[in-house]
Amino acid sequence: MNRTALTLLAPTVAVCRFGCASCYAAPITVLWLASIVAIVFGFLGGPVGLTEPGWSAVALGLALWGMASLWTAIVIRGGDEVRCEKPDSAVCHTINPGTDRSDPRE
């Protein structure tokens, strides 16, 4: 997938692949997961337990998803692994387990 599609659909994966992961992966993940929970909660009736979707909760979820995508786009555009203090992140090793950057001789 290209950067734009990955930024819009899965911001956490995009920041792990293209951005400064140790600085921003965890907060973006929390924001993105909160958006998914809000969207699902909204379709299940929202905070008042309606029989129809609670559109305010769905709108909140979409707004949170938009913020996570926007934050990811900013991080990817300005993110540089050289500027990071710790370029590796436990969150990204969980998401992309095949990207082991350690020296095998150690």
CA separation for the pair 54, 89 (Å, rounded): 36
- Taking the whole predicted model, whether its pTM rises above 0.85 is answered as no
Q: pLDDT, tens digit, for every residue of 9-33?
A: 988 888 888 776 667 888 889 999 9
Tens digits of residue pLDDT in 45-89: 888 877 888 899 999 999 999 999 998 888 888 655 545 555 555
Residues ≥6 apart with Cβ < 8 Å to 94: none
Residue 88 to residues 18, 67, 98, Cα–Cα distance (Å): 12, 24, 13
Domain edges within the chain: 23-81
